[in-house]
Amino acid sequence: MNDRPRQTATGLPPPEDTVMQMVMGAWVSQAISTLTRLDIPDLLKKHGPQTARELTEKFGVNAKPEFLERVLRACASVGFFSEAADDRFSVTALSNVLTSRSPVSVKKLTEVFGASWWKFWSGLENTLRTGESQPMVLFGMEYWDYCRSNPKEMEDFGEAMKSNSINSTRGVLEFCDFSQSRKVVDVGGGFGHLAIALLKKYKHLQAIVLELPDLIPMVRQQMQGENENVIQRVKLVGGNMFEEVPKADVIYSQAHYL
């Protein structure tokens, strides 16, 4: 799936090799996402090295063993699993972050990217031509309406955003000092995980979470159960970051927008 790239006199791969790596990266992405949805990383982490047939027969993985083995081997070629001489596969540092219990798990994010969001990106050309949103084309409704009518999608989306926020928040808390700030606005703040983490660390801080209006009720629901002192210091604002951003000492954006 991913042969060692050739090098030019400059030490860089030829442009055509680089482009093909980028284009065929979609294959890798879908293979990894599919195996993650099948809980392969979790099973290998919990039960140790297994063959493809053992995964299907002992643990009920819903796949044809011969086809599962091919995809496992393809992912092993890019470091997501290791394969022994007896055809057993094991987790590596890469697939370990696709397990449920990893402190830096991106399992749900990987699953969502490879499912509904994959379908959205496959319609990019149509969106460029018509301006239509792909959720509307595929589901007959916008994504947030789709989430509201599909609890599993909402749950997966929430967990995906949570894992993404936890991983990025760790760096923000470690390397950014908000002790002299009074108010921070998190642009596109998702379910408010960064804002909550900042308010827990800095007892004097006020926070604003700017999100799409349709998402605000979901954000409020996700925050239920948090410490009342923290909740009182966070304000949820529905709006469009391209039109107006609330004023604050610090404006933070994860920049996952297109």
β-strand partners of 211: 238
Strands 234-238 and 206-211: parallel
Give the chain's domain count.
3
| pTM above threshold 0.85 | no
Distance CA 192, CA 235 (A): 10
Mean pLDDT, rounded, of the chain:
89
Which domain CATH number covers 189? Answer: 3.40.50.150
Judge contact between 221 and 191, C-beta under 8 A: no
Range of 194's domain? 177-253
Domain end position, chosen among 96, 115, 145? 96
Q: Which residue has the higher pLDDT, 98 or 147?
A: 98
Question: Which residues have CB under 8 Å from 3's CB, separation 6+?
Answer: none
In 3-100, where do the E strands start and end? 81-83, 89-91
pLDDT at 245 over 90: no
In a domain, 5, yes or no: no
Distance CA 134, CA 121 (A): 8
Per-residue pLDDT tens over the stretch 82-116:
999 999 999 999 999 999 999 889 999 999 989 98
Domain end position, chosen among 141, 175, 209? 175
Distance CA 126, CA 78 (A): 32
Question: Same structural domain for residues 91 and 25?
Answer: yes
Question: Same structural domain for residues 84 and 20?
Answer: yes
Question: Same structural domain for residues 171 and 184?
Answer: no
In a domain, 248, yes or no: yes
Question: Same structural domain for residues 186 and 171?
Answer: no
Question: Same structural domain for residues 20 and 87?
Answer: yes
Which domain CATH number covers 34? Answer: 1.10.10.10
Question: Which residues have CB under 8 Å from 5's CB, separation 6+?
Answer: 13, 17, 18, 21
Domain end position, chosen among 117, 150, 175? 175
Taking the CA atoms of the chain, what radius of gyration do you get in angstroms?
A: 21
